[in-house]
Amino acid sequence: MEILLRVAIGAGIGLIGGALAGFLTAILTLTCRRLRNSVLAARGQPGIKDALLPLPFVVFSAIGGVPLGAILGIFMSGWRAGLIGACVPAGLLALISIVGTIWQAFRY
């Protein structure tokens, strides 16, 4: 019964924390895209017109945080599992989007 409680807490915190972390990742991505466009404008090149808030990051992070928090809840406390489950999908999305933005800024 204690394991089931840890799984439920991990999944719940993973869902709520993942949505929050996904929103912060979307704001960070938008900021990086604006900085990329300013680097391109400083070189005299036109900016890439994709500087919109990527709201699917919120959904992807929330959906990814639920199973990860639940699975980790089997092995550790529910709070720790939920926090790790919330941060890992958003961190991976942030890593991919920031590296892609930097690559686009120096490629063109």
Q: pLDDT by residue (tens digit) across 10-53?
A: 999 999 999 999 999 999 998 998 999 999 899 998 888 876 77
CB within 8 Å of 49: residues ≥ 6 apart: none
List, for residues 48-84, the tens digit of each pLDDT value: 887 677 888 889 899 999 999 999 999 999 899 999 9
Say how many Å lie between the first and final Cα of the chain, rounded.
Answer: 57
Distance CA 32, CA 53 (A): 11
Domain ranges of the chain: 2-107
108 — pLDDT class (breaks 50, 70, 90): low
